[in-house]
Structure 1
Amino acid sequence: MESRLIAATLLVCFFGVTYAGNMPDYIQICHRNDPELSKCLKQSVHNLRPYLVKGIKEINVPSLEPLYIGDLSILEGSSSGITVKAKKLTVYGASNFEITKMRASTQNKRFDFEMILPLLQGEGQYDINGNILALPIKGSGPFVGNFTNFVAYARITYDVKNVNDVDYFEFKEFALKIRTGKGRLRLDNLFNGDKVLGDVINHTINENFELFTNEVIAPIARALEVKFLAIATKIVENFTYNELFPL
């Protein structure tokens, strides 16, 4: 009996090492029955982070620096009566995220985590028309914004699909909610370049930064959901479920 237990233990260790040996450096293996699975997954994501800066060409994962979002309708006649559109929106600093909390459940097939984005910079073209705090605002042109300590809450649900008797990890949902932090925004060419009026509006926006960003953050979060889900899917679709989460 003892020799059988030793043989079984060696066999498990052998397969564990085989899985790990075949996996690329950017994948840190987490065993699905690990009592500290949440801690392992947190470390695994942080281990992956440096590789996302330039992207992972071998599995067609795009770079996070910069993160190109493109054209985005941020507000369309909201309750405040303001319309905001962004074009060629590009975000810098997304790869510097830090996961502060992680809760993983393979039984429920769900991951919940909280992460902080210490510093983000966004730039692109804007088009805005409406009222901010009873002040009329109109213009189009370039913009730049700096944002600090934004907090994101994410919920991921997944399934295990079987293809030709092989199990694969499949994402079902990637939901993201962002709590705004501090920052500054600069809209150039407001009111056809009227500096006085432009400075007044920019000052008003930055004095009420949290109020303004709370209005526009939801569609940005939806756009980020799509980007992050695409990146995550590209990573997991190249490996089997047992390779990513062995017993």
Structure 2
Amino acid sequence: MKRLSIFVFLAAFFCTNAEDGFLPSFITPCELSKDNFKNCVREQIVKSLPLFAKGIPELGVPSIDPADLDDIHIDGNGLKMTFTKAKMHGLSNIQLTDLTIDIGEKEEKFKLDLIGNLSVSSIYNADGKILILPIKGDGDANIYCTNVKVQINSKLNHFKDSKGEHFKLTTPNYKYDIESTKFDFKNLFNGNKQLAETTLQFANENWRQLMDDLAPPVIKQIVKTIVKSINKFFSKVTISRIVRDYTEA
């Protein structure tokens, strides 16, 4: 749940308009030649996270809060579960905890560490068991994740077009950890309150088993969505416009 957000936040630092040099008021450019370049980047990311996550239509950067997710399927360990019409909420409130960025080096790359509370709303369908306890139902689902920590590493490659040289995010990889998760599934066992409460309590006490299956596809989708949005943004903005004192290869 984590990786997608990180790339959007980095892009905020580089933000400018490829056509007329417009720079959003919440962004101050950083100069590569200055000793405080990395600190400047950090400050810009921290300042711009909540604003950038809402999207910049003028630059083709979509909102990621909420972020639409593809259908999620769990089929294993005696449990079949599907989440449809899923949306991720909370990326605009995520915080930067660490930053490593190398621009102008032989191999350009960055590493971001983020933390925040995230949630997923969706329609679920479940049939099977969580460990030893049956679960069956369909209806609205909400999943609340506390202190989601995400570390994202990526390379910054280059490509050229008629306007100049551009960045492109490639081969991103990530790590994540979740402090706790709470599930809220409506209409379990066709509304049988006693069975529903028992199963929901058990699911929340054993949340890691569900999240071991649920978290990886969610995070993968988030990252894919964010990388696509960021690369679309980079395709409109040349490096020379977004990083001052940068010398093109």
Match of 2:243 in 1: 245
Identity %: 22
State the AA in 1 paired with 2:136. K
Following superposition, the deviation at residue 116 of structure 1 comes to 0.3
- Unmatched tracts of structure 1, length 5 or more: 1-18
1:171 aligns to what SS in structure 2?
Answer: strand
Q: Which protein has greater RCO, CA pairs closer than 8 Å, 6+ apart?
A: 2
Query: Cα deviations across residues 5-57 of structure 1 (Å, max 9, x unaligned)?
Result: xxxxxxxxxxxxxx9x9341244323334444432222222233232343211
Are positions 1:110 and 2:109 aligned together? yes
Q: Which has the larger radius of gyration?
A: 1
Query: Scaled by the length of structure 2, what TM-score is found?
Result: 0.80
Question: Residues 10-89 of structure 1 correspond to what in structure 2 (within 5 A)?
Answer: 22-25=21-24, 26-69=26-69, 71-77=70-76, 80-89=77-86
Check conservation: 2:67, 2:222, Cα contact below 8 A. no
Per-residue deviation, 1:201: 1.2
CA deviation map 1:136-190 (0-9, x unaligned): 2222211112222111111121211122372111121333332112232111122
Q: Does 1:92 align with 2:50?
A: no
Tell me the matched-pair count: 224
- Kept in 2: contact 1:176–1:222 (CA 8 A): no
- The alignment's C-alpha RMSD in Å is 2.3
Give the TM-score of the pair, scaled to structure 1. Answer: 0.81
Contact 1:74 1:220 in 2 (8 A): no
- Once the two structures are overlaid, the 10-residue window that deviates more, 213-222 or 189-198, is 189-198
Unaligned runs of 5+ in 2: 1-17
Deviates more, 1:31-40 or 1:204-213: 31-40
Whole-angstrom distance in 1 between the partners of 2:207 and 2:38: 35
Q: Is the 8 A contact 1:180 1:214 kept in 2?
A: no
C-alpha separation in 1, matches of 2:22 and 2:29: 8
Any idea what SS the aligned residue of 1:32 has?
coil
* DSSP 3-state at the match of 2:198: helix
Higher helix share: 1
Please give the alpha-carbon distance, in whole angstroms, between the structure 1 residues aligned to 2:37 and 2:100: 8
Equivalent position SS for 1:214: helix
- Report the equivalent of 2:227: 229
